[in-house]
């Protein structure tokens, strides 16, 4: 289950990067990619801005949810071990 959520988490991270770069910015970014035509030429300016903004928010929410799910799964897997990270492990070397 952790592998599936981690895969979704990575895909969301890549999609967030792409959607953020496609949005119009003052510096140009990748919004003007495509031979002088805007990547948002399928919509009017306002529609494209709303679509990209909303999709970015949805992707961020999904990213946060998968992050929390991974932390909870990791914590529950390590809950059986009551050892602290700060405690020193004293193991005798095998002779």
What are the tokens at 6? 């981690």
* Nearest residue to 53 via CA among 7, 22, 87: 22
pTM (predicted TM-score): 0.62
Residue 33 pLDDT exceeds 70: no
**Residue 93 forms part of a structural domain:** no
**Residue 71 forms part of a structural domain:** yes
Domain count for the chain:
1
Instruction: Give the Cβ contact number of residue 69 at 10 Å.
Output: 16
**Residue 84 forms part of a structural domain:** no
**Residue 95 forms part of a structural domain:** no
Domain that holds residue 29: 2-76
**Residue 20 forms part of a structural domain:** yes
Question: What are 47-84's pLDDT values in tens digits?
Answer: 666 888 889 999 999 999 999 999 998 877 666 555 56
* Nearest residue to 39 via CA among 54, 27, 52: 52
**Residue 82 forms part of a structural domain:** no
């Amino acid at each position: 289950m952790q592998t599936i959520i981690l895969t979704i988490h990575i895909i969301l991270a890549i999609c967030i990067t792409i959607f953020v770069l496609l949005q119009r910015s003052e510096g140009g970014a990748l919004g003007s990619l495509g031979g002088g035509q805007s990547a948002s030429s399928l919509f009017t300016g306002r529609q494209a801005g709303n679509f990209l903004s909303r999709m970015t928010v949805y992707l961020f929410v999904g990213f946060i949810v998968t992050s929390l799910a991974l932390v909870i799964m990791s914590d529950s897997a390590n809950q059986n071990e009551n050892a602290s990270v700060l405690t020193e492990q004293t193991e005798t070397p095998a002779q």
